[in-house]
Chains A and B, each alone.
Chain A
Amino acid sequence: MRVDGRRHAAHGGDTGTADTGDETGEEAGSQRGGGRRAALFLWPCLVMLTLYIAYPLAYSFGRSLFDSSGETFVGLGNYITAFTDERTLVALRNSLIWVLVAPTLVTSFGLLFAVLTERIRWATAFRLVLFMPMAISLFASGVIFRLVYDTDPELGVANAAVVTVHDMFASASQYPGARPRYEDEMVPARDGDPAGFATAEPAGPGEVVSVPMVGVRPQDAPEQARQAREPEGSPGELRGVVWLDVSGATGRDGMIDPAERGMSGLAVEAVRDGEVVATTTTADDGTFLFGDLPDGAYTIRLPGANFAEPFRGLTWLGPELVTPVIISAWVWIMTGFAMTFIAAGLSAIPREVLEAARVDGAREGQVLRKVTIPLLGPVLIVVFVTLVINVLKIFDLVYVVAPGASQAAANVLAVQMWQVSFGAGGNPGLGSALAVLLFLLVVPAMVFNIRRLRREGPS
């Protein structure tokens, strides 16, 4: 409610100007009838202002000095709670990020599109398309963007794109997520490849290393894999087998059971003193062999690339990325709005000034920077300030797009205020304090806008 009230308050600026006009009228010594007539016209507006703006404002302020039940006076206690509560501080920080980033981005994009579309044929059609997102409610846009940024590449178009690009350069492994059955026999490989596994006990030529693996569904294994078999030892050769030790609840752990297939096509490395001495690849039955190793003790290592999980894209809606993601959605929605206003301002710029600049030999970039933008200044500032006010009261997008687990990370003041006052276990006192805080933050922007209106209005 408070948030909407502010909008009306901005219109209240008109009344302000009317008031001044009234006073000057009286000073000019005109008849009393003038004042009475002015009062006649003013009272509906005054009543509305009192009822819908002044009273709720005063009430909220008063309410913010009382506790949850509204019975005990706590003074500034609620404000102290607000500034010591971690959630509110996160909300404050996020609101700050929003104010710093979002209006600037939207104004820049708006300017860019306005200038670009001005020069093309079908400009109106193009602008119509850009303006369209404004016709969708923020709530609905939120639902759309929640889907766009879904983690599952099958659902979210953002991750579908990222995964497609990634898979063009790196292919998925054949045994994603496979791990050794015995974590004390095969330990995570050190030496810069923590995703791989290496034997805990070294082995030498003549020995047979058998490595049972688990964590892969047998039916997901590559087709060419065949029944595993344990190779026989042979002097001078280091042999071994890597197989999928999975055959349901009846299978024996660590033994090659019937229907247990070898893991084919794995890279295997023989490592000595931290250096890879030889590499080989497992056969379809999972066996591998190092033919001509010098005598000594080797660690057998299975590099992590063998078991890399398929790339699933980014967790867009996780705590780290969620705020930038929501801001991007807002930019998509609001750019059309900024563009329309700026385009209107643009069409009011006297053509001859631009022509003159061009005749004088200015390049298009210079014309934009040195002529267009300064002339558009007032419009740009109005758009920017309007967006700042808009951003401070941002609510629905954040509420809809952020999933439960990232809600706290995406929190902004308006959402926090709503949750505190009306969410489960509401505390209207603290909520009012947050509302007043939000109001104070918007006041400078509001005052600025009203001042401008006044300056431009009467002249």
Chain B
Amino acid sequence: MLRKPQAGIGIATVAALGLAACSPAETNGGGEAALDDLGLPDLSGHELEVATPWTGDEQEAFLDMLAAFADATGAEVRHASIGDDLATVLQTRIDGADPPEVAVIPQPGLVEQFARDGALVELPGEARERVAEHYIDLWRDLGTVDGTEYGVYVRASNKSTFWYNTELFDEVGVSPPDTMDELLETARVLADSGIAPLSVGGSDGWVLTDWFENLYLRIAGPEMYDRLGEREVPWTHPTVEETLELLAELFDENFLAGGVSGALQTDFSTSIVNVFGPDPEAATIYEGDFVREVIDVSTDAVLGEQARFFPFPTVEGAEESVVVGGDVAVAFVDDEATRELMAYLATAEAGEIIAAGGVSVSPNHDVPLDTYPDELSRDIAEQLRDVGENVRFDLSDTAPAAFGATPGSGMWAELQDFLSDTGDIEGTMERLESSAARAYGE
């Protein structure tokens, strides 16, 4: 599921039926500098096509990165922006024996599907070495299907950021909480003062799955998180119960902007405007680092001043951890230029160009933090860096789409039902389990 924050009303997501557009990757000035050390070969006369799902700001840094490669090697690199229909378009082009050389895919499940169909080319040795050197295991494992490594993650998003309105925090005199107990106490003080502590875009099911995942990762730990994702642990497990109990405590009628019924009618963009708009109703909004784009576009709040973030609070006794999303590059063609490009994508130099764009986090941990252009993007990247190996990929994005990524079914629907009746923990767990069993085809 591609999550692109949209300005204004969320209908825009429906409108994203854009046609695939091809354009030569242009140099935007930045980044061609230090590639000489990489010893890239001369690839003049080679043509490469790179397909991505991006249509907005997030593609700019990536295009710079491609342009730097094109400049250094002389290869001609074209970029095809496909949008939300990526899966369909790629499948059609694979069937027609005309795939792009490289595609950037936001769903690990899709990589798995293409790999099992035999459409992907294994990463060349040089790229594998670089991934092993520069990335934490998570990214390597995500790019591996049945023991063969296919993908290089080029972009990550930090989904454990809690955004808050500093003016409202100052008005009440509270400071960003570090732990879950502090969060609950802060929420209580805010609610007593007549300010809703939480704005939740419950109309978009994925917002609720992100809430659940962050809490579950902290309560049950990374190991259990993996096992839940791999269906080794049922959704009726006590850790799930504990998570839902905490979620019920947070999704209190007095805590949510507009109450429970208001939250269910609020979409992602509106939930942000609720906090940073001209007449704020709530003090905080939890979601991924892409919240800043909506703040930037849809509100007058200044990022880093009125709008700041704190890491998703930890649960007592748990280590700090982060839920992430990410986009992976995979190759469909086995030729010299493609191999060179894939190996290039795994370099710290390429990661630096992504980081310098300031919109995305580079999953490459050897990208110096000072490459990020401002404090905010540096903090977001640093939070990810600081938790070491305790990074986990968005569970609903790795689950079958029917369970993790379909409006009105699976996790999305069950958690929306749970939001409307937080007392029914038992029933929610049972429905999650049976819906998971169906989606996983058990």
- Report yes or no: A403 in contact with B265, Cβ–Cβ below 8 A: yes
- Whether a CB of chain B sits under 8 angstroms from the CB of A147 is yes
Chain A 399-431 against B: per-residue CB contact (8 Å), 1 yes, 0 no? 110011101100100000001001111000000
C-alpha gap A220/B280 in the complex (Å): 13
- Report yes or no: A405 in contact with B400, Cβ–Cβ below 8 A: no
- Whether a CB of chain A sits under 8 angstroms from the CB of B371 is no
C-alpha gap A77/B68 in the complex (Å): 54
- Report yes or no: B189 in contact with A249, Cβ–Cβ below 8 A: yes
- Whether a CB of chain B sits under 8 angstroms from the CB of A283 is no
C-alpha gap A315/B192 in the complex (Å): 26
C-alpha gap A317/B254 in the complex (Å): 23
Supposing A408-B413, A424-B401 touch, asked if A181 and B267 sit within 8 A by C-beta, the answer is no
- Whether a CB of chain A sits under 8 angstroms from the CB of B44 is no
- Report yes or no: A317 in contact with B409, Cβ–Cβ below 8 A: no
Supposing A146-B9, A217-B195 touch, asked if A249 and B1 sit within 8 A by C-beta, the answer is no
- Report yes or no: A408 in contact with B409, Cβ–Cβ below 8 A: yes
How many chain B residues touch A (Cβ–Cβ < 8 Å)? 38
- Tell me the nearest residue of chain A to B14, going by C-beta: A400
Q: How far is the CB of A248 from the nearest CB of chain B, in Å?
A: 4
- Whether a CB of chain B sits under 8 angstroms from the CB of A102 is no
Q: Sort chain A's interface into a size bin.
A: 35 or more
- Report yes or no: A248 in contact with B173, Cβ–Cβ below 8 A: yes
Supposing A249-B173, A424-B406 touch, asked if A405 and B202 sit within 8 A by C-beta, the answer is yes
- Report yes or no: A424 in contact with B408, Cβ–Cβ below 8 A: no
- Whether a CB of chain B sits under 8 angstroms from the CB of A3 is no
- Report yes or no: A147 in contact with B9, Cβ–Cβ below 8 A: yes
Supposing A147-B9, A419-B406 touch, asked if A218 and B265 sit within 8 A by C-beta, the answer is no
Q: How far is the CB of A449 from the nearest CB of chain B, in Å?
A: 32
- Whether a CB of chain A sits under 8 angstroms from the CB of B35 is no
Which of A179, A218, A411 touches B408 (beta carbons < 8 Å)? A411
- Tell me the nearest residue of chain B to A155, going by C-beta: B9
- Whether a CB of chain A sits under 8 angstroms from the CB of B264 is yes
C-alpha gap A208/B268 in the complex (Å): 48
- Report yes or no: A424 in contact with B402, Cβ–Cβ below 8 A: yes
Q: Which residues does chain B contribute within 8 Å of A315, judged by CB atoms?
A: 261, 265
C-alpha gap A146/B9 in the complex (Å): 9
- Report yes or no: B406 in contact with A217, Cβ–Cβ below 8 A: no
Which residues of B181-215 have CB atoms within 8 Å of chain A's CB atoms?
189, 191-195, 202-205
Q: How far is the CB of A403 from the nearest CB of chain B, in Å?
A: 5
Q: Which residues does chain A contribute within 8 Å of B202, judged by CB atoms?
A: 405
Q: How far is the CB of B12 from the nearest CB of chain A, in Å?
A: 9
Q: Which residues does chain B contribute within 8 Å of A443, judged by CB atoms?
A: none
Which of B174, B194, B205, B413 touches A220 (beta carbons < 8 Å)? B194
Chain A 139-163 against B: per-residue CB contact (8 Å), 1 yes, 0 no? 0000100110011000000000000
Which of B11, B192, B406 touches A425 (beta carbons < 8 Å)? B406
- Whether a CB of chain B sits under 8 angstroms from the CB of A177 is yes
Q: Which residues does chain B contribute within 8 Å of A177, judged by CB atoms?
A: 194
- Report yes or no: A317 in contact with B265, Cβ–Cβ below 8 A: yes
C-alpha gap A50/B439 in the complex (Å): 37
Q: Which residues does chain A contribute within 8 Å of B10, judged by CB atoms?
A: 403-404
Q: Which residues does chain B contribute within 8 Å of A424, judged by CB atoms?
A: 1, 401-402, 405-406
Which of A151, A246, A248, A404 touches B407 (beta carbons < 8 Å)? A404
Q: Identify which of A216, A249, A318, A404 gathers the most chain B CB atoms within 10 Å of its CB.
A: A404
- Report yes or no: B194 in contact with A218, Cβ–Cβ below 8 A: yes
- Report yes or no: B172 in contact with A248, Cβ–Cβ below 8 A: yes
- Whether a CB of chain A sits under 8 angstroms from the CB of B232 is no
Q: Identify which of B264, B401, B412, B439 gathers the most chain A CB atoms within 10 Å of its CB.
A: B264
Q: Which residues does chain B contribute within 8 Å of A246, judged by CB atoms?
A: 192-194
- Whether a CB of chain B sits under 8 angstroms from the CB of A171 is no
Q: How far is the CB of B394 from the nearest CB of chain A, in Å?
A: 14
Q: How far is the CB of B31 from the nearest CB of chain A, in Å?
A: 35
Supposing A151-B265, A215-B194 touch, asked if A408 and B408 sit within 8 A by C-beta, the answer is yes
- Whether a CB of chain A sits under 8 angstroms from the CB of B171 is yes
Q: Which residues does chain B contribute within 8 Å of A250, judged by CB atoms?
A: 173
Q: Which residues does chain A contribute within 8 Å of B406, judged by CB atoms?
A: 419, 423-425
- Whether a CB of chain A sits under 8 angstroms from the CB of B416 is yes
- Whether a CB of chain B sits under 8 angstroms from the CB of A382 is no
- Tell me the nearest residue of chain B to A67, going by C-beta: B441
C-alpha gap A150/B11 in the complex (Å): 12
- Tell me the nearest residue of chain B to A315, going by C-beta: B265
Q: How far is the CB of A139 from the nearest CB of chain B, in Å?
A: 8
- Tell me the nearest residue of chain A to B191, going by C-beta: A215
Chain A 213-255 against B: per-residue CB contact (8 Å), 1 yes, 0 no? 0111110100000000000000000000000011011100000
Chain A 317-337 against B: per-residue CB contact (8 Å), 1 yes, 0 no? 110000000000000000000
Which of B203, B254, B400 touches A403 (beta carbons < 8 Å)? B203
Q: How far is the CB of B401 from the nearest CB of chain A, in Å?
A: 3
Supposing A215-B194, A220-B194, A246-B194 touch, asked if A407 and B14 sit within 8 A by C-beta, the answer is no
Q: Which residues does chain A contribute within 8 Å of B402, judged by CB atoms?
A: 424-425
C-alpha gap A131/B88 in the complex (Å): 37
Which residues of B394-424 have CB atoms within 8 Å of chain A's CB atoms?
400-402, 405-409, 412-413, 416
C-alpha gap A248/B173 in the complex (Å): 5
- Report yes or no: B193 in contact with A404, Cβ–Cβ below 8 A: no
Supposing A404-B407, A423-B406 touch, asked if A249 and B174 sit within 8 A by C-beta, the answer is yes
Chain B 249-270 against A: per-residue CB contact (8 Å), 1 yes, 0 no? 0000010000001101101000
Which of B11, B193, B262, B409 touches A87 (beta carbons < 8 Å)? B409
Q: Which residues does chain B contribute within 8 Å of A215, judged by CB atoms?
A: 191-192, 194, 254
Q: How far is the CB of A259 from the nearest CB of chain B, in Å?
A: 12
Chain A 117-152 against B: per-residue CB contact (8 Å), 1 yes, 0 no? 000000000000000000000000001001100110
Q: How far is the CB of B402 from the nearest CB of chain A, in Å?
A: 4
Which of A150, A217, A400, A408 touches B193 (beta carbons < 8 Å)? A217
Q: Which residues does chain B contribute within 8 Å of A400, judged by CB atoms?
A: 11, 14
C-alpha gap A363/B365 in the complex (Å): 87
- Report yes or no: B171 in contact with A425, Cβ–Cβ below 8 A: no
Q: Which residues does chain A contribute within 8 Å of B14, judged by CB atoms?
A: 399-400
C-alpha gap A87/B412 in the complex (Å): 14
- Report yes or no: B1 in contact with A404, Cβ–Cβ below 8 A: no
- Tell me the nearest residue of chain A to B109, going by C-beta: A425
- Report yes or no: B192 in contact with A214, Cβ–Cβ below 8 A: yes
C-alpha gap A400/B407 in the complex (Å): 13
- Report yes or no: B193 in contact with A218, Cβ–Cβ below 8 A: yes
Q: How far is the CB of A93 from the nearest CB of chain B, in Å?
A: 15
Q: How far is the CB of A418 from the nearest CB of chain B, in Å?
A: 12
- Report yes or no: A405 in contact with B265, Cβ–Cβ below 8 A: yes
- Report yes or no: A407 in contact with B401, Cβ–Cβ below 8 A: no
Q: Identify which of A217, A317, A405 gathers the most chain B CB atoms within 10 Å of its CB.
A: A405
Q: Which residues does chain B contribute within 8 Å of A245, judged by CB atoms?
A: 192
Supposing A317-B265, A425-B400 touch, asked if A248 and B409 sit within 8 A by C-beta, the answer is no
Q: Which residues does chain B contribute within 8 Å of A217, judged by CB atoms?
A: 193-195
Q: How far is the CB of A59 from the nearest CB of chain B, in Å?
A: 16
Supposing A217-B195, A218-B194 touch, asked if A422 and B203 sit within 8 A by C-beta, the answer is no
Which of A318, A399, A404 touches B205 (beta carbons < 8 Å)? A404
Which residues of A71-109 have CB atoms within 8 Å of chain B's CB atoms?
87
Q: How far is the CB of A245 from the nearest CB of chain B, in Å?
A: 8
C-alpha gap A245/B192 in the complex (Å): 8
C-alpha gap A315/B264 in the complex (Å): 10
Which residues of B373-408 have CB atoms within 8 Å of chain A's CB atoms?
400-402, 405-408
Q: Which residues does chain A contribute within 8 Å of B173, judged by CB atoms?
A: 248-250
Write 20 A-B pairs (CB below 8 A) sorted by A numbering.
A147-B9, A151-B262, A151-B265, A181-B192, A217-B194, A218-B193, A246-B194, A248-B174, A248-B193, A249-B172, A318-B264, A403-B10, A403-B267, A404-B412, A404-B416, A405-B205, A419-B406, A423-B401, A425-B406, A425-B439
Q: A318-B261, A424-B401 are in contact. List 6 more A-B contacts (CB 8 A).
A: A181-B192, A399-B14, A403-B267, A404-B407, A408-B413, A411-B408
Nearest first, the 3 closest Cβ-Cβ pairs linking A and B are A425-B401, A424-B401, A217-B194
Residues of A in contact with B (beta carbons under 8 Å apart): 87, 143, 146-147, 150-151, 177, 179, 181, 214-218, 220, 245-246, 248-250, 315, 317-318, 399-400, 403-405, 407-408, 411, 419, 422-425
